[in-house]
Chains A and B, each alone.
Chain A
Amino acid sequence: MAEKKKINLSRVPMLKQKAEVRKGNFYQVALGYTEEQAMEEAHRCLQCKKPLCKAGCPVGVDIPEFIKALQDTDMPEAVKILKRKNSLPGICGRVCPQETQCELKCVLAKKEAPIAIGRLERYVADWEQTHLESIEKQNKRVEAKGKKVAIVGSGPAGLTCAAVLIQRGFNVTILEALHTAGGVLIYGIPEFRLPKEIVQNEIDYVKSLGVEIQLDHVIGKIATVDELLENNYDAVFLAPGAGAPMFLNIPGENLSNVYSANEFLTRINLMKAYLFPEYDTPISIGRKVAVIGGGNVAMDASRCALRLGAEEVYIIYRRSKLEMPARAEERENAEEEGIIFKYLTNPTRFFGDEQGKVTTMECIEMKLGEPDDSGRRRPITKPGTEFSIDVDVVIIALGNKPNPIIPSSTKGLELTRRGTIKTDELTGRTSKDRVWCGGDMATGAATVISAMGAGKRAANDIDTFFQK
């Protein structure tokens, strides 16, 4: 029998731009693996007979198989295997919370050295972008089914569903409210984490398959879901995300220069306000910026503010570091860049000047009590600990809830208590005939990969539905 291979526990680190440099630019923070690094990391994989990693991936990427192809330096094969389950690997490799998904389950995680699955995925996807020609076109021409599907929203759920359906012979049109396709991938997640070019490539790919994308179409306004079904389409897949920002509902929250993270990020990512006045959309930055919240959105907003020239940027979070929902990697990046974290702190009110611009934020200290429904310890205020921070700009990053436009304009669509559309998890079916749903609108704010998974499951079910 062959000698048992020694397990290598040193995860190959990925190069990053230095913190002092990157906080002044919007280029990618993490630079990706070189070929040597990717090979070294791939060779650490034990090729487990029962790969636990796979169970951690919401779409079941064939992880050991694609890593095997990498070990064999068969790049086209690696791309093929990866894309079998994940049509947007370049995006997922960058933004998936791997530490709570695939990498958490990897056997080597117990030794604190899981295989860097996300980084390898990114490496393979980036290789494909520069070697597109060498890959045989996977999409065989299929017979047209003569069925038309409307997809509402062009985020990861919508794009994935569209790509699957068109390859099964459906006629597919995506209807998108904004003037650019991509959903949160375009207007929310900043360039330094996810270059817009990568998202644009994926959109172009979906278009190249024959999917039509109609921008400037707010469904519920220009046409209702019922009208889509009556007039043009055999089925509708709803993927409008969960785009409505939540606020604190405390005094002074509507002062000028108090933004939702959505507005702040949209002005920057979608409208290119950082290039004002070359671009027409303005943004206020100021010297001192406070971001309220502890998720990925808060990290993104704070790091954008820093890159736009703010001198002091605070993250104000009401629980402790341990409960913080942001990815550990992004929190560390933010810390390195000099974002100041104020844990166990909650704003109580904002004060402004005579022009109605915010100037001061009053906060109160918190402590942690018993665990709540989410299993995290509930923050409680410590009376008498109020203090003030001077601020020029405040960004509220508390998360998003479902946008009401579609639910309120569609007849016979059952909703959940949280305002999401009631959806069968396995099939994506809603309570309404010929209407499917998936992504954040079905689950509440979640992840890119879960939205993609939902898009794919719905596409499969739509296909099955019309085979009858």
Chain B
Amino acid sequence: MYQLVAKENLAPNFSILKIEAPEVARKVQPGQFAIIRTDEKGERIPLTITDWDINEGTVTVIFLDVGRTTHKLTQLQAGDSLINFVGPLGMPTEINNFGRVVCAGGCYGIGSILPEVRALKEKGNEVIAIIEARHKSLLYWQNRLEQFSDRVIVTTGDGSYGYKGWAPDQIKEMLEGGVKLDRVFAHGCTFMMMLCSEATKPFGVKTIVSLNPIMVDGTGMCGACRVSINGETKFACVDGPNFDGHEVDWDLLMHRQHSYLDEEKESL
């Protein structure tokens, strides 16, 4: 059993959980994820590890309430436990001194991009964080990101706060305006990561995305997480989840993510 040390609501439908998992806290690196299960009948779902504290022996995840399991998670309180917590899984993101980098986050990615932001900054990069949300009420962690980056640009789809528009629009504007970017990182929904990759492609700026296909074991045993990268099949849980966004077959990823749409509706 893995105890929840803290649980908080960040924004409507977004929660943050701090979980006791000292061994994982000691090993995790930016870009890695965990697989959790709430109870004996529960599904195994992957969540990015957004923060950790070796001294406290805790790790943090942020999630959006989208379906059965995330709904169960939303109901939990500090003091409750998860039946399973496996991590750290996947390959860490490559962190180097690239120069000037953009870290774009939308949805749960506003939180899950934090480890990259922090590590890239520590490596001496100029780090620009760009976060997006439909409405200002769905934003969170602007302050935290400001703490670890050179600049945070906020965008909202409806213009209720910051720039009107989305993170990919900002990236595009920067590149078209002649700002030189050495690398872009994107976390969030599949559509947003795809648009970020499309924005950078004409400028040849390498863009690393954190893919989120359906997973079961997370150890390379089942192949549920197959993605197509540059025409080659990869397992996102062991070869990824970070890939070059210019090489991802996005249509395939989106189709596979919706494999169980009918069943999921039935279960709710």
Show the binding face of A for B, using Cβ within 8 Å. Answer: 177-179, 215-218, 221-223, 243-245, 247, 249, 253-257, 259-260, 262-263, 266-267, 271-272, 276-284, 352, 355-357, 403-405
On whether the beta carbons of B41 and A215 are closer than 8 Å, the reply is no
Selecting from B113-121, B162-170, B217-225, B240-248, the interface stretch reads B217-225
Interface flags for B16-30 (1: CB within 8 Å of A; 0: not) read 000000011001000
CA distance A228 to B254 in the complex (A): 39
On whether the beta carbons of B222 and A404 are closer than 8 Å, the reply is no
On whether the beta carbons of A263 and B89 are closer than 8 Å, the reply is no
CA distance A221 to B264 in the complex (A): 31
On whether the beta carbons of B220 and A271 are closer than 8 Å, the reply is no
Question: 8 tightest CB-CB pairs across the interface, nearest first?
Answer: A356-B255, A263-B222, A282-B263, A280-B43, A277-B267, A260-B223, A243-B221, A256-B259
Separation in Å of the A405 CB from the closest CB of chain B? Answer: 6
On whether the beta carbons of B216 and A221 are closer than 8 Å, the reply is no
Separation in Å of the A136 CB from the closest CB of chain B? Answer: 36
Separation in Å of the B220 CB from the closest CB of chain A? Answer: 5
Say which residue of A179, A243, A257, A356 sits within 8 Å of B83 (CB atoms). A179
Given the interface contacts A221-B87, A282-B260, A356-B256, does A266 sit within 8 Å of B233 by beta carbon?
no
CA distance A245 to B41 in the complex (A): 25
Majority SS at the chain A contact face: loop
On whether the beta carbons of A254 and B89 are closer than 8 Å, the reply is no
CA distance A281 to B266 in the complex (A): 12
Query: 23 interchain pairs (CB within 8 A)?
Result: A218-B89, A218-B218, A222-B88, A243-B219, A245-B221, A254-B256, A256-B258, A262-B222, A262-B223, A263-B222, A263-B224, A266-B221, A271-B43, A276-B267, A277-B263, A279-B41, A279-B42, A280-B42, A282-B267, A356-B256, A357-B255, A405-B219, A405-B238
Show the binding face of B for A, using Cβ within 8 Å. Answer: 23-24, 27, 37, 41-44, 68-69, 83-89, 216-224, 226-228, 233, 238, 251-252, 254-256, 258-260, 263-264, 266-267
On whether the beta carbons of A221 and B27 are closer than 8 Å, the reply is yes
The winner among B233, B251, B258, B259 for most chain A CB atoms within 10 A is B259
Q: Whose C-beta in chain B lies nearest to the C-beta of A214? A: B23
CA distance A100 to B69 in the complex (A): 46
Separation in Å of the B219 CB from the closest CB of chain A? Answer: 5
On whether the beta carbons of A405 and B220 are closer than 8 Å, the reply is yes
CA distance A259 to B226 in the complex (A): 10
- Chain A residues whose CB sits within 8 angstroms of the CB of B83 once the complex forms: 179
The winner among B85, B87, B227, B256 for most chain A CB atoms within 10 A is B256
Given the interface contacts A218-B86, A256-B258, A284-B260, does A223 sit within 8 Å of B216 by beta carbon?
no
Say which residue of B23, B219, B254, B263 sits within 8 Å of A177 (CB atoms). B219
Q: Whose C-beta in chain A lies nearest to the C-beta of B89? A: A221
